Structure 1
């Protein structure tokens, strides 16, 4: 059960193009025109669309086809885009993926209003699904949205975080959308109960690994490569895997803040190495769940997605 990183990169690119096309077909009239402009801006986020692509691959892995998956995939991408707008408001971020954030360009008020509009469009789009599983899809998507909000809130209100707290937050804030995407893909593809459950569990582990990789990139990547400022988690005192592991080794936040960038990156190397090992554990766990999925090219792609998550540079 193998798939090369080249294969998964190409698949993600082709699926992202299809999902972009599907989202481009969205028809909506929103007043005032200024809000409509902001919503279109949010829907035109560039990227690999890993969550939505995971939905399409999961659909095929249980015997479905990509045509069945495109509307649900667009729904999950819209939920993800909404979460990015909210994240940028919370972070007071000015750039994402190399372009201005909505809150920086139009202000926090318009960004929050746009979130309302985006969620409304998401629900409307989900209800248009021709699948007989429409209700199940909406319920699964809604559950992931609630989990995401819970994760954000846990991160905001908590203190003295432990690794157990970290995994709890990561499962809700990040992994919930991965899990829902894989599960919805299996639902629309006509998967068995066993396949649906296994792919949902696969998505959870992939999502946690994805979050750990995000934490690693925040301290190892450059602002130019990420398309957004780095070391933001340290500055905002967030419970990332790197920060928690560093604290365990006696490196306090105060000490880290007093270091220059090169000193900090050198001091954090042991924590980064440990985080990479923990991310690999999550990928291995995800792959074990694939044993419940029928062998074939799509299962191989899901296997290869683990390599992509571990190696991605942004």
Structure 2
């Protein structure tokens, strides 16, 4: 069985990672959050903790709960509520990952076999439901209707975003506005909520709550933009994923959207065929060539940097502090994954 020490070993950042300052500040809180996660994963139904541990123990930097703890600390709060809500945020995130891997028919995540590849789709969906339920138990225990509103709304928006993305699969006519609507819902919504509840538990004024919510929103969009760029980048292999997964699934992300917009008639016909109809084994190479031709990976990186700057500017109302500097550095961490 996994232990807290097992989980905490995975929280050690790389020597030069820009998340390190924030991790150092909230490390003790995060260790206690891990204890809560392990306790709340427990079930007498053996498959539930086994499957949940598989995904949580493989999890990266725990960025979303880290942001909850960092936001609370920025607002001067050091109590236990933030730790429980950070665990709640991680359960919501983990549940969505379980469901996403089933929907996307994914077999690998961070270089490890996905839960659905090991235990099947039915078990993955049901354990995802269990983790969602655990997250709502933690919300209710917190006792704040405002916290419940923020996190329950985020859960609903994430689900809407995933359904919207599913509806858009195979649609080369997707617009940039529609694309940003999808990533704002399926990814940024939880970043927003994770940061917002950190200010709420500290009982901060509305302008500070909004500032942290905006920080989370812009950071979440930047994070997803980098993910979408990496899907067509050699860096993807270093992250334990396969290049072109989005392409094979018919997802129109910004690199494809921009390449299609700038392409000539023959190139647009190519995109329409491979996204809306069928693909051959050679099509990914041609897609990568067109993406490189118009440097839409670079354009996507630039869009991410723009949102990263907006995230940093959102914290302008807070006085200078080690925590603020660390939260600003977390933005660089999210974007610098691409380099």
Task: Give the TM-score of the pair, scaled to structure 2.
Answer: 0.83
Aligned equivalent of 2:223, options 204, 210, 228: 210
Looking at structure 2, the residues matched to 6 and 103 of structure 1 have their Cα atoms a distance apart, in angstroms, of 31
Number of residue equivalences? 307
Structure 1 alignment gaps of length 5 or more: none
Q: Relative to 1, partners in 2 of residues 1:19 and 1:231: Cα closer, same or farther, differing over 3 Å?
A: farther
Does the aligned pair in 2 maintain the 1:42–1:82 contact within 8 Å? no
Does the aligned pair in 2 maintain the 1:5–1:308 contact within 8 Å? no
Q: Please list the CA deviations of residues 50-78 of structure 1 after superposition, one character each: whole Å capped at 9, or x if unmatched.
A: 11111111111111126442111010001
**Residue of structure 1 in register with 2:206 after alignment:** 193
Tell me, yes or no, if structure 1 residue 115 matches structure 2 residue 128.
yes
Structure 2 alignment gaps of length 5 or more: 1-14
Larger deviation, residues 253-262 vs 72-81: 253-262
Does the aligned pair in 1 maintain the 2:176–2:257 contact within 8 Å? yes
Tell me, yes or no, if structure 1 residue 156 matches structure 2 residue 181.
no
**Residue of structure 2 in register with 1:19 after alignment:** 33
Aligned to 2:243, the other structure's residue is in SS state coil
Looking at structure 1, the residues matched to 285 and 218 of structure 2 have their Cα atoms a distance apart, in angstroms, of 32
Q: CA deviation at 1:224?
A: 4.0
**Residue of structure 1 in register with 2:6 after alignment:** none
Structure with larger RCO (C-alpha < 8 A, sep 6+):
1
Q: CA deviation at 1:239?
A: 2.0
Q: CA deviation at 1:18?
A: 4.7
Looking at structure 1, the residues matched to 206 and 154 of structure 2 have their Cα atoms a distance apart, in angstroms, of 19
Q: Please list the CA deviations of residues 155-195 of structure 1 after superposition, one character each: whole Å capped at 9, or x if unmatched.
A: 11133210000110111000000000010111112221100
Task: Give the TM-score of the pair, scaled to structure 1.
Answer: 0.89
Aligned equivalent of 1:9, options 14, 20, 42: 20
Looking at structure 1, the residues matched to 203 and 16 of structure 2 have their Cα atoms a distance apart, in angstroms, of 27
Looking at structure 1, the residues matched to 246 and 31 of structure 2 have their Cα atoms a distance apart, in angstroms, of 31
Looking at structure 2, the residues matched to 225 and 7 of structure 1 have their Cα atoms a distance apart, in angstroms, of 18
Looking at structure 2, the residues matched to 173 and 50 of structure 1 have their Cα atoms a distance apart, in angstroms, of 16
**Residue of structure 2 in register with 1:97 after alignment:** 110
Tell me, yes or no, if structure 1 residue 44 matches structure 2 residue 57.
yes
**Residue of structure 1 in register with 2:157 after alignment:** 147
Larger deviation, residues 285-294 vs 47-56: 285-294
Aligned to 1:26, the other structure's residue is in SS state helix
